[in-house]
């Protein structure tokens, strides 16, 4: 709560935020795009196989795009970023905790929450939606590649089917989830980092617990967020 409140309370350290944005965004972009590309391709293959039973292969673009935008894009992106960045947050803060750097900051009158937690929370809430949009586009492109080669579907038809299927509510649902997921990743990583004890062994333990907790929390919260957005839209 203090970390979230620090977003709105001066002083604001944009340098720290920009550094965390780079860690969350630029550092994760290639990983997210590779996963999204092959997820879209696999989705297209499976969809073509399933729809061929009913002679409805032409709807592959609609199914792939809707699945990616509403569910797979946000969830897979968040889990990948959570595993990569969340573990890094826990290790960074955990190392500072066991070497008493956090206590030194408090002794000097600085707020560890304001300097360590708040920038990470803000950066996660900014970058994760942007990464998800990129993942959606790359994933839909991967599905188009498979549709072109497997079904010889015209790319204009595929793109039109995507554009007619995806609505603003679908985009808001997917992107809205990632704002919460980003907050979740930062909070969990910082929490276990600050609770680290036991030297280097404790840092490793905190890192492992962070990755597991982030993954489970994202999947559980995704259910409730999906239900919420279905009610709202």
Model confidence over 176-222: pLDDT tens digits? 999 999 999 999 999 999 899 888 889 999 999 999 999 999 999 99
Domain ranges in the chain? 2-232
Q: Which two tokens stand for residue 117?
A: 């937690």
Task: Report the percentage of the chain scoring pLDDT > 70.
Answer: 95
Phi, psi of 11 (to 5 degrees): -80, 155
Phi, psi of 79 (to 5 degrees): -65, -40
**pLDDT reading at 10 higher than 70:** no
Q: Considering only CA atoms, which of 212, 27, 231 is closest in space to residue 127?
A: 27
> What are 179's two structure tokens?
């704002």
Residues 12-62: tens digit of each pLDDT: 678 888 888 988 888 889 999 999 999 999 999 999 999 888 888 889 999
Q: Which residues contact 120 (CB under 8 A, 6 or more apart)?
A: 3, 20, 89, 186, 189, 190
Q: Taking the model in full, what pTM does it have?
A: 0.89
55 torsion bin: left (phi>0), alpha (psi -120 to 50), beta (else): left
pLDDT of 106-150, one tens digit each?
A: 888 777 888 888 889 999 999 999 999 999 999 999 999 999 998
Distance CA 179, CA 182 (A): 5
Assigned token pair, 11:
């002083």
Q: What are the tens digits of pLDDT across the range 139-149?
A: 999 999 999 99
- The Cα–Cα gap between 111 and 226 comes to 36
Query: With 70 as the cut, is the pLDDT of residue 9 above it?
Result: no
Measured from the Cβ of residue 151, the count of other Cβ atoms closer than 10 Å reads 16
Tell me if 203 sits within 8 A of 95, measured CB to CB. Answer: yes
Tell me if 221 sits within 8 A of 181, measured CB to CB. Answer: yes
Q: State how far Cα 94 lies from the chain centre.
A: 22
Q: Report the Cα–Cα distance between both ends of the chain, in Å, rounded.
A: 28
Contacts of 182 (CB under 8 A, 6+ apart): 24, 78, 81, 121, 124, 125, 126, 127, 128, 129
The string of pLDDT tens digits covering residues 66-88 is: 999 999 999 999 999 999 999 99
**pLDDT value, residue 154:** 86
* 3-state percent breakdown (helix, strand, coil) of the chain, nearest 5: 90, 0, 10
């Amino acid at each position: 709560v203090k970390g979230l409140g620090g977003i709105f309370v001066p002083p604001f350290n944009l340098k720290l935020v920009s550094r965390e944005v780079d860690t969350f965004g630029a550092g994760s972009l290639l990983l997210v795009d590779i996963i999204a590309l092959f997820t879209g391709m696999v989705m297209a293959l499976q969809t073509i196989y399933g729809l061929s039973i009913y002679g409805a292969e032409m709807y592959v673009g609609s199914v792939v795009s809707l699945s990616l935008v509403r569910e797979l894009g946000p969830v897979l992106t968040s889990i990948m970023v959570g595993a990569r960045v969340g573990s890094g947050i826990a290790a960074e803060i955990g190392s500072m905790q066991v070497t008493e750097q956090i206590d030194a900051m408090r002794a000097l009158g600085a707020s560890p929450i304001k300097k360590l937690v708040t920038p990470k929370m803000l950066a996660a809430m900014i970058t994760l939606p942007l990464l998800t949009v990129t993942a959606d586009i790359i994933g839909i492109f991967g599905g188009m590649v498979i549709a072109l080669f497997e079904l010889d579907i015209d790319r204009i038809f595929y793109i039109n089917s995507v554009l007619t299927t995806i609505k603003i509510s679908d985009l808001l649902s997917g992107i809205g989830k990632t704002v919460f997921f980003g907050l979740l990743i930062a909070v969990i990583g910082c929490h276990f980092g600050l609770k680290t004890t036991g030297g280097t062994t404790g840092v490793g333990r905190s890192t492992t617990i962070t990755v597991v907790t982030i993954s489970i929390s994202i999947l559980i919260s995704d259910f409730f967020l999906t239900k919420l957005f279905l009610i709202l839209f």
